[in-house]
A and B are shown apart, each in its own frame.
Chain A
Amino acid sequence: MRQEISQGRKAVLVDGCRIPFLRSGTAYRDLTPYDLGRLALKALLTRTMIEPAKVGQVIMGTVISRLATSNVARESALGAGFPIQIPAFTVTMACISANVAITTGVDLIRTGQADVVVAGGTESMSDIPISYRKPMRQKFMEAQRYKGPLDYLQFLKGMNLKDLLPEIPSIAEFSTGRIMGEDCDRLAARLGVSREEQDEYAVRSHLAAAAATKEGLLAGEIDPVMVPPDFRPIREDNGFRADTTPEKMASLRPAFVKKYGTVTAGNSSFLTDGAAAVLLMAEDTANALGYTPKASIRAYAYSAQDPQEELLLGPAYATPKALDLAGLELSNMDVFEFHEAFAGQILANLKCLASDRFAGEKLGRSRKVGDVPMEKFNTLGGSLSLGHPFGATGARLVTTAVNRLIREDGTFALVAACAAGAMGSAIILERWK
């Protein structure tokens, strides 16, 4: 099933970067998503030396938005020094928000709406907004109409002690009420992914990230930052564990399905602060401005599945769609960068891609999408080890993928990710020659 679509102008990726991804509660703990976004945008401007006025649109993804900066793209762009005339908007699609930012930018370029787009994402999990419960919020709204001091006596009327407690935003899936880790546990059990396999994969991710960091393979995408309060330079990610071993992994208790589960804190991604951005251009604009693009965006696709049973299977569904649109096979891919929400989720998706039965029953295809060669897969670590700032991860994946394409002298890269709400994203990048 090959489809040709009218693509208009060719959209290319000039470069991308990110600030180091840090475990929540560490050096970025005093910063907001706006601050992190500002830092990433500033870094992109500095690295690419693009004249900010040439940018037609800024798009940022984020998941846990703040009321004060609900359009965090605009505030971060202004804060980073973009001219006031450049429109900016914020998108959200859970963990594939930055993917949406990027593919939306691609579409604006393809259709001639913009020549240059900055797209990325930002997330802080150090400081999530906690609100009052509804009865309290209603009282606050009413209190705005109070006139005299006596009116305030009404405030406590009908209030319950429980109403004074804060409401902590739940990370549970809205439609099922389950926490994502529980879903991963179910998925892994359903597809027969063992605890040992998950732990082994998690160790691989951490050791790969540690090695890549040590060898400087990530330096090309990370721009160091100095942030308040002490402005000491931060050059590297701090989430990976270079000293992890299968034994250490095996010693952890199941985190989501108590006692009997297989998903642990060790084989799950951790709470992360970070931001990332990429510079997109029309191919002819890049030529005119004297840039050498790294890659072009060949095709992309989104998928959506059943939140009950397939919450984390986005890559398995979105990948074949994107491959079809690109007219390519999985075997044509030289570089794979998949978002690692959980080790169990990665292994489940790889199993599905390599399953004739899954292809037949769920995708309506006669044979499997393909076997992913592990030597090409997430070789520099992934969300499990580098971290996963929800709204920014997609921009990291795309940047890493294009840099690897060049370094490893490949032609095609596949970026894929899953998202809450049971959705998936796949982007196929082609090295620019």
Chain B
Amino acid sequence: MSYAQIEKEGGVAVVWLDQPGERVNKISLDLLDEFKALLDETERDGDVKGVVLISRKEDNFIAGADIDRIREAAGPEYAESLSRQGHVLLNRLEKFRKPVVAAIHGAALGGGLELALACAYRIASDDPRTILALPEVKLGLLPAGGGTQRLPRLIGLQAALDMMLTGKNIYPRQAKKMGLVDDLVHPYGLRRAAGIAALELAGKPMERKIKQPLLAGLLESNRYSRNLVYNKAEKMVQKQTWGNYPAPFRIIDCVRTGLEQNRTAGLEAEASKFGELSMTPQSKELVQIFFSMTALKKNPQKELARPVRKIAVLGAGLMGSGIANVSAVNGMDVILKDISLDAAGQGEKAVWQDLSGKVRKRAMTTFQRDRVFSRITGTDHYKGFEKADLVIEAVFEDLDLKKKILAETEAVLREDAIYASNTSSIPIAMIAEASRRPGQVIGMHYFSPVPQMPLLEIIVTPKTAPWVTATALDAGIRQGKTVIVVNDGPGFYTTRILAPLMNEALELLDEGGDIPEIDRAMRRFGYPVGPIALLDEVGIDVGVHVSRILGRLFAGRDVKPSAAMEKLSQAGYKGRKNNRGFYLYGDPPGKGKEKGKKKKEINRDVYAFFGGPQRKKIDTAEIQNRLSLVMVNEAAWCLQEGILQSPRDGDIGAVFGLGFPPFLGGPFRYLDRLGLAKALALFAEFEKRHGPRFSPAVILRDYERESRRFYL
């Protein structure tokens, strides 16, 4: 198999990387071997003065290491050996007597960027598809191709840590500014420019200085102040991850070893820690999520999907405008309807502000914004709906209202139009009762804020036609969402499993628990937001509404939710939206001089609903176990009842929709890792103390008896 072709012209050997049969080039031991042979050849050839490394792929240089191979490895040896062999080769590349120029167009990620870092010169195309990043940390790994060593020496310690600890994308202009690449040129001139640069460098090698602010340079100039940088970075990582992720710490270790001892030691640390990280549960789970997500980007029933060119969104509020936004950005025409033009205008404004934010960040030009924005038409009537292929209703959560609007809208739609309701809990079948074409009614549950939240939960009823599901799925994927398809039922999947978790938090309060302690315990567990703060965000009134919808279902299992929520709601506590919740939110942002002056604090008045101000300490592990198990159990019920089609969908839904800790992989991966025997023991204990809330789903006992796992 040949990964590269070599082409010699005018003293320059151009190495074209082109992994056969793949859309992207990936780093693997095979590629490294072939690359080594190419180096040997160019080294021998006296006519070759310089070398250019360039990709033949349309939108990538090298997209990173072949994660499949690392995942399949049984022990740390494969990863470690990949790293070591990479080191040998890249060290040789770095010291190569003929200048090697990396010509980067498209994605240069992970090992791809590390390969470029070992070259004498980097020139990138000024194309929006050109992205440079070391995203290993997102997979619980570290840059193991010398990245932790070469990057700080090229762009400075702080900039390098920032890149490696966040894994963020660097775009061409910024890359040039920070010295990550030496020059930019348009994509069509890349090969030629790299050739010129290689010949120039063959004449005289270049001196490079780190491009960084004076102060940063000063801070990094000696080991004492560098120590401050490492410590600060570790503190930040600890604060943000609660120590749940080992990779960021290992990255800092490697950088530190390299800079404070020497590079050989740094590389050694890199290889061994890479092997070690590749076997950590955190990395395994993150990699699993990555693969699940990639799989979900494909529509398995593509051939059934009909084209969606124009969509209509009913309701121009936060949800509706968000849906309009992601649709327009991805090339669909959107009618954004509300009751009045004023309301529709506010929806347009929300989109405009979001897009303008992208313009400020240079993720988009003003002209691109204008073109995208022009796809959205705010309106207060149904004219034009006959052209819509898909309608997404995003009005207030009220069954009668939703049914009324469905009937009204269906009357003006084409026979073959799809009607989707964006509801978070109302069963779709109930809404579809108002429809003359229930086969074309489906649920599309988006998460707020829509442009930022990656998940879309599609809900199908027994009547939903397969082509309708396929088409909605296609539209969702085009909107850039990770989509799971679930079956209908109260609260579907995500809302249904969130409700018991929130309820359990309220039960803990009833038992005398402390608001910040409960929230902190769950953040420590790995959630981005604590459950009580989340309830404030969602709205206590919404919580009550959801709780009513789910009431019958839970009552069937003898589960009775906490009564406090209903009472709080009746007493006018709505949460963040009216600044009366479990927390007080200080001044609303953006109001004169006082804006954001007061910080969020505990609303102690709320304790009156939970037995008074006297609070007691509840064990952190108890909080974490109860809250996570009650949710995981509900997920298992969903799988058992066929709400979920697979454990994978359940895991992705919980991680991307609800912030379930990614390093735990999702409810089902969590159960697999915990072991069902142990989980059932915990359930038994909690059931004894707290009643049927903790009766495990039947499927858990079945699986345990049969020694089955959710993942093979």
Contact A260 B196 (CB under 8 A): yes
> Which listed residue (B188, B196, B367) contacts A259, Cβ 8 A?
B196
For the complex, is B189 an interface residue (Cβ under 8 Å from A)? yes
CB distance from B50 to the nearest CB of A (A): 15
For the complex, is B486 an interface residue (Cβ under 8 Å from A)? no
> Which listed residue (A174, A175, A185) contacts B186, Cβ 8 A?
A185
> Which listed residue (B185, B365, B367) contacts A260, Cβ 8 A?
B185
Q: How large is the interface on B (under 10, 10 to 19, 20 to 34, 35 or more residues)?
A: 10 to 19
Contact B186 A182 (CB under 8 A): yes
Residue from B183, B196, B367 whose CB has the most chain A CB atoms within 10 Å: B367
Known: A259-B196, A260-B196. A189 touches B189 (CB 8 A): yes
Q: Quick one: closest A residue to B188, CB to CB?
A: A189
Known: A174-B367, A175-B367, A177-B365. A186 touches B186 (CB 8 A): yes
**With the chains together, A352 CA to B197 CA distance in Å?**
30
| B residues near A259, Cβ cutoff 8 Å | 183, 193, 196
CB distance from B361 to the nearest CB of A (A): 16
CB distance from B192 to the nearest CB of A (A): 6
| B residues near A175, Cβ cutoff 8 Å | 367
Q: Give the size of the chain A interface in residues (CB under 8 angstroms).
A: 15
**With the chains together, A190 CA to B185 CA distance in Å?**
13
Q: Quick one: closest B residue to A261, CB to CB?
A: B189
| A residues near B367, Cβ cutoff 8 Å | 174-177
**With the chains together, A262 CA to B191 CA distance in Å?**
13
Contact B188 A190 (CB under 8 A): yes
CB distance from A188 to the nearest CB of B (A): 8
**With the chains together, A257 CA to B188 CA distance in Å?**
12
**With the chains together, A182 CA to B186 CA distance in Å?**
9
> Which listed residue (A174, A176, A177, A186) contacts B189, Cβ 8 A?
A186
Dominant SS among interface residues on chain A: loop
1/0 contact string of B180-222 vs chain A (CB within 8 Å): 0001011111001100110000000000000000000000000
Contact B185 A257 (CB under 8 A): yes
**With the chains together, A175 CA to B369 CA distance in Å?**
11
Inter-chain residue pair count (beta carbon < 8 A): 35
Q: Quick one: closest B residue to A256, CB to CB?
A: B186
Contact A189 B365 (CB under 8 A): no
**With the chains together, A259 CA to B193 CA distance in Å?**
8
1/0 contact string of A253-268 vs chain B (CB within 8 Å): 0000101111000000
Contact B193 A260 (CB under 8 A): yes
| B residues near A260, Cβ cutoff 8 Å | 183, 185, 189, 192-193, 196-197
Q: Quick one: closest A residue to B365, CB to CB?
A: A177
CB distance from A257 to the nearest CB of B (A): 6
Contact B196 A257 (CB under 8 A): no
| A residues near B188, Cβ cutoff 8 Å | 186-187, 189-190
**With the chains together, A187 CA to B185 CA distance in Å?**
13
Q: Quick one: closest B residue to A188, CB to CB?
A: B188
Interface residues of A in 290-313 (CB under 8 A from B): none
**With the chains together, A284 CA to B197 CA distance in Å?**
65
Residue from B186, B192, B193, B196 whose CB has the most chain A CB atoms within 10 Å: B186
Contact B189 A257 (CB under 8 A): yes
CB distance from A34 to the nearest CB of B (A): 32
Q: Quick one: closest A residue to B366, CB to CB?
A: A177
CB distance from B121 to the nearest CB of A (A): 12
Q: Quick one: closest B residue to A173, CB to CB?
A: B367
| A residues near B186, Cβ cutoff 8 Å | 182, 185-186, 189, 257
| B residues near A174, Cβ cutoff 8 Å | 367
**With the chains together, A259 CA to B186 CA distance in Å?**
12
CB distance from A263 to the nearest CB of B (A): 10
**With the chains together, A257 CA to B190 CA distance in Å?**
11
1/0 contact string of B388-409 vs chain A (CB within 8 Å): 0000000000000000000000
**With the chains together, A190 CA to B187 CA distance in Å?**
8
| B residues near A257, Cβ cutoff 8 Å | 185-186, 189
**With the chains together, A189 CA to B185 CA distance in Å?**
11
| A residues near B365, Cβ cutoff 8 Å | 176-177
| A residues near B183, Cβ cutoff 8 Å | 259-260
**With the chains together, A174 CA to B371 CA distance in Å?**
13
| B residues near A190, Cβ cutoff 8 Å | 188
| A residues near B192, Cβ cutoff 8 Å | 189, 260
**With the chains together, A189 CA to B365 CA distance in Å?**
24
CB distance from A347 to the nearest CB of B (A): 14
Interface residues of B in 162-191 (CB under 8 A from A): 183, 185-189
Q: Quick one: closest B residue to A182, CB to CB?
A: B186
**With the chains together, A175 CA to B371 CA distance in Å?**
10
CB distance from A187 to the nearest CB of B (A): 8
**With the chains together, A187 CA to B193 CA distance in Å?**
15
**With the chains together, A177 CA to B365 CA distance in Å?**
9
CB distance from B369 to the nearest CB of A (A): 12
CB distance from A316 to the nearest CB of B (A): 17
**With the chains together, A260 CA to B365 CA distance in Å?**
25
| A residues near B197, Cβ cutoff 8 Å | 260
Q: Quick one: closest A residue to B196, CB to CB?
A: A260
CB distance from A31 to the nearest CB of B (A): 34
Q: Quick one: closest A residue to B191, CB to CB?
A: A189
1/0 contact string of A240-272 vs chain B (CB within 8 Å): 000000000000000001011110000000000
| A residues near B193, Cβ cutoff 8 Å | 259-260
Q: Quick one: closest B residue to A187, CB to CB?
A: B188
Q: Quick one: closest B residue to A183, CB to CB?
A: B186
**With the chains together, A186 CA to B125 CA distance in Å?**
11
**With the chains together, A186 CA to B193 CA distance in Å?**
12
CB distance from A409 to the nearest CB of B (A): 42
1/0 contact string of A361-385 vs chain B (CB within 8 Å): 0000000000000000000000000
**With the chains together, A379 CA to B653 CA distance in Å?**
69
Known: A174-B367, A175-B367, A259-B183. A185 touches B196 (CB 8 A): no
**With the chains together, A174 CA to B192 CA distance in Å?**
28
CB distance from A317 to the nearest CB of B (A): 20
CB distance from B129 to the nearest CB of A (A): 12
**With the chains together, A175 CA to B197 CA distance in Å?**
31
**With the chains together, A110 CA to B48 CA distance in Å?**
66
CB distance from B204 to the nearest CB of A (A): 15
Q: Quick one: closest B residue to A177, CB to CB?
A: B365
**With the chains together, A260 CA to B185 CA distance in Å?**
7
CB distance from A25 to the nearest CB of B (A): 30
| B residues near A185, Cβ cutoff 8 Å | 186, 189
CB distance from B137 to the nearest CB of A (A): 34
**With the chains together, A261 CA to B188 CA distance in Å?**
10
CB distance from B183 to the nearest CB of A (A): 7
**With the chains together, A260 CA to B188 CA distance in Å?**
11
**With the chains together, A1 CA to B365 CA distance in Å?**
39
Q: Quick one: closest B residue to A254, CB to CB?
A: B189
**With the chains together, A187 CA to B188 CA distance in Å?**
8
1/0 contact string of B351-367 vs chain A (CB within 8 Å): 00000000000000101
CB distance from A179 to the nearest CB of B (A): 12
CB distance from B568 to the nearest CB of A (A): 47
1/0 contact string of B324-367 vs chain A (CB within 8 Å): 00000000000000000000000000000000000000000101
Residue from A187, A260, A262 whose CB has the most chain B CB atoms within 10 Å: A260
CB distance from A84 to the nearest CB of B (A): 42
Q: Quick one: closest B residue to A192, CB to CB?
A: B188
| B residues near A186, Cβ cutoff 8 Å | 186-189
**With the chains together, A262 CA to B196 CA distance in Å?**
12
Q: Quick one: closest A residue to B370, CB to CB?
A: A175
What are 7 pairs between A and B in contact, CB < 8 Å?
A176-B367, A177-B367, A182-B186, A186-B189, A257-B185, A259-B183, A260-B185
Residue numbers of B with Cβ under 8 A of A are 183, 185-189, 192-193, 196-197, 365, 367
Lowest 6 CB-CB distances: which A-B pairs, in order? A260-B193, A189-B188, A190-B188, A189-B189, A186-B186, A175-B367
* Besides A174-B367, A189-B189, 8 new A-B residue pairs in contact (Cβ under 8 A), listed by A number: A176-B367, A177-B365, A186-B188, A186-B189, A187-B188, A189-B186, A189-B188, A260-B185
